[in-house]
Chain A
Amino acid sequence: PAARCGSAPTPAPGGGGAVELVAAKVPVLADHPLVQGPRFRKLKIGAGDRLDVKASGVFVLGIGHGNKLLTDLYNCHLTKVYTVGGLFGKATDDFSDTGNLVEKTTFDHITREKLERILAVIQGTNQKALLMYSNIDMKTQEAYELAVRGLIRPMGKSPPIITAVRCLQFALPEFQLEIHCLHETQQYLRKTVHEIGLELKSSAVCTQVRRVRDGVFTVDDALPRTQWNLQSIQEAIQNCQLKVETELERTL
């Protein structure tokens, strides 16, 4: 706090008449909160992986020094899990249900088995891409051990790869999938839904994209809008700190 170094004249002890100056700190109005304004004006917040305007779900934010951890987490290349809802019978230009309609098709011939067969094909092709991009020589013992533990991951830049797909709900014309993926964008997921529709000789649009997991952060850790206050944020940071540290140690 600013203070003026003033000098208060005090009579010198013992000697009459002489005036001595004593350095004293005089409190000053320039430091009054009404004059200075609010103390904290800015907060550095960084965002983890991007989330579309139409998508929803877990969104990781880093505050202040936490932004450095964000870059480390990005280099860990952890998988994200999405719940994708789709609708058979329509096709639009941007693959979601709010775009311009391009065509309408029938979908009565689609059954759950056909859908699961297509999902298995997708998973197979993506598995091959995964092995190719993780740059590990397939013939070594080390590669076998990593594959057994499920730790084969592309540790650099790669196109979107889907590691696992599962059908959660199937009620014509709606269906819901759970997709585990790496390095993807939400638009890629919507395009995948469209392609599934094409493979089944029909068409599909994506109604909902919801991120359920982002690396170590799940929906249970996430704070809904009713809990966007200082107390809950502090608790959430403390809860996740341990998880983030263990994950970083494991990978790097």
Chain B
Amino acid sequence: DWDDIPPSSALEVISEEEAVQIIAEPLLPVQSSTLRDYVDHSETLAKLVHLGVDLSQVEKRQKAGQLLLTLDFEKDVKKILLFLKDVGVEDNQLGPFLTKNPYILGEDLEALETRVAYLKSKKFGKSEIAQMVSRAPYLLLFSVERLDNRLGFFKNELGLSVKKTKDLVIRLPRLLTGKLEPVKENLQVCQIELGFQRNEIQKIVYKTPKILTASKKRLKQTFDYLHNIMGIPHHMLTRFPQVFNSKLLRIRERHMFLAFLGRAQYDPAQPSYISLDQLVSLPDEVFCTEIAKASMQDFENFLKTL
């Protein structure tokens, strides 16, 4: 209507007091590749930082940053955090857990509870479930059928009893979350190329499940050095499978040092026998003084001559 008061234009003069009361803040950027711009304005992100979540890692993941911004702390995130505490994840572990798996905050609470109930029905104890969940953060993202399939797969492939399979999975829950094809191929490599019998493979895998996820090239190189150059037979390797986990360079340096000193004896029947697990697992100083009976300086000088 022509008679109404026209709205005040932006170019009108206003008094000092009114000017002081206008608060103008810079706008939030509409698009950004880091979460730094939004951290101050979002309560969810601020609370997550206080919990210990590393946002610089999270923003590198696909769509995780977007998910965190759209969530509301009070309604969604709080329920899931309480649920995780219920399952048994420690308070100080929540930060690293969410850094590795931020997608869990977008999951449905009922689906998560069904999965935990399924694990309990398979007779995993409460503390064991807590351990598995904290070490493999992606575990609770898998649906019940997928978990079932994977447990069945391991039981069939390895041929171990139910109790032993469960023990294995508790110690290395990454087996359930990782890909299955490399595991199958590793088992084939162990049987065909390295020449281990089926019961030997079972013993080795039960002792060091990490062999199933190790790279095939590294396994073959380590085995080649141990068997052909150091001359260690299969049954010794079955007794000490930890050697497959250690670095080839370490084994090579220490073996060459012992051979140089004339103490490279790996047969338990002979005197001054050196066991394989002591060869790889001891730290350098202890290795030098006790096994090689030489000083650290001699070891370093020898390393320089290689």
Q: Mark A26-70, 1 if CB is under 8 A from B, else 0.
A: 001110101111100000000000000000100000000000000
Min CB distance B67 to A, Å, is 17
Q: Is B284 an interface residue (CB 8 A)?
A: yes
Min CB distance B95 to A, Å, is 8
Q: Is A222 an interface residue (CB 8 A)?
A: yes
Which residues of chain B are near A219, meaning CB under 8 Å? 304
Closest to A58 in B: B304
Which residues of chain B are near A216, meaning CB under 8 Å? none
Check if B49 sits within 8 Å of A226, measured CB to CB: no
Q: Is B53 an interface residue (CB 8 A)?
A: yes
Q: Is B40 an interface residue (CB 8 A)?
A: yes
Check if B300 sits within 8 Å of A30, measured CB to CB: no
Partner of A35, one of B56, B253, B299, B306: B56
Partner of B49, one of A34, A38, A210, A222: A34
Which residues of chain B are near A32, meaning CB under 8 Å? 39, 49
Q: B interface, how many residues as a size bin?
A: 20 to 34
- When A and B form their complex, which 7 residue pairs have the shortest distance between CB atoms, in order from nearest? A37-B56, A224-B303, A30-B36, A35-B55, A29-B39, A34-B54, A224-B300
Q: Which of B53, B57, B284, B300 has the most CB of A within 10 A?
A: B300
Check if B303 sits within 8 Å of A29, measured CB to CB: no
Partner of B303, one of A37, A210, A226: A226
Q: Is A229 an interface residue (CB 8 A)?
A: no
Q: Is A250 an interface residue (CB 8 A)?
A: no
Check if A225 sits within 8 Å of B49, measured CB to CB: no
Which residues of chain B are near A143, meaning CB under 8 Å? none
A226–B53 Cα distance when bound, in Å, is 34
Q: Is B209 an interface residue (CB 8 A)?
A: no
Q: Is B162 an interface residue (CB 8 A)?
A: no
Partner of A56, one of B37, B299, B306: B306
Q: Is A18 an interface residue (CB 8 A)?
A: yes
Check if B36 sits within 8 Å of A36, measured CB to CB: yes
Check if B49 sits within 8 Å of A35, measured CB to CB: yes
Q: List 14 A-B contacts (CB under 8 A).
A: A20-B20, A28-B40, A29-B49, A30-B36, A30-B37, A30-B39, A34-B49, A34-B53, A37-B54, A38-B56, A224-B300, A224-B303, A225-B249, A225-B253
Closest to A4 in B: B40
Question: Do A35 and B36 contact each other (CB < 8 Å), given the known contacts A226-B284, A226-B303?
Answer: yes
Partner of B40, one of A29, A210, A224: A29
Residues of chain B touching chain A, judged by Cβ–Cβ distance below 8 Å, are: 17, 20-21, 23, 35-37, 39-40, 45-46, 49, 52-57, 249, 253, 284, 299-300, 303-306
Q: Is A227 an interface residue (CB 8 A)?
A: yes
Min CB distance A210 to B, Å, is 8
Main secondary structure of the interface of B (DSSP, over half): helix
Closest to A227 in B: B300
Q: Which of B21, B36, B303 has the most CB of A within 10 A?
A: B36
Q: Mark A174-197, 1 if CB is under 8 A from B, else 0.
A: 000000000000000000000000
Which residues of chain B are near A18, meaning CB under 8 Å? 17
Check if A225 sits within 8 Å of B39, measured CB to CB: no
Check if B40 sits within 8 Å of A21, measured CB to CB: no
A103–B36 Cα distance when bound, in Å, is 67
A21–B23 Cα distance when bound, in Å, is 11
A19–B23 Cα distance when bound, in Å, is 14
Which residues of chain A are near B23, meaning CB under 8 Å? 7
Check if A21 sits within 8 Å of B20, measured CB to CB: yes
Which residues of chain A are near B49, meaning CB under 8 Å? 29, 32, 34-35
Min CB distance B73 to A, Å, is 14
Which residues 200-226 of A sit at the B interface, judged by CB distance below 8 A?
210, 219, 222, 224-226
Min CB distance B303 to A, Å, is 4
Partner of A224, one of B20, B52, B55, B304: B304
Contacts A29-B49, A34-B52 known; 8 new A-B pairs at CB < 8 A = A21-B20, A29-B40, A34-B49, A35-B39, A222-B304, A225-B249, A226-B284, A226-B300
Closest to B42 in A: A29
Closest to B46 in A: A29
Min CB distance B305 to A, Å, is 8
Partner of A19, one of B20, B55, B304: B20
Min CB distance B99 to A, Å, is 9
Min CB distance B254 to A, Å, is 12
Q: Which of A7, A56, A226 has the most CB of B within 10 A?
A: A226
Check if A36 sits within 8 Å of B20, measured CB to CB: no
Min CB distance B10 to A, Å, is 21
Which residues of chain B are near A20, meaning CB under 8 Å? 20
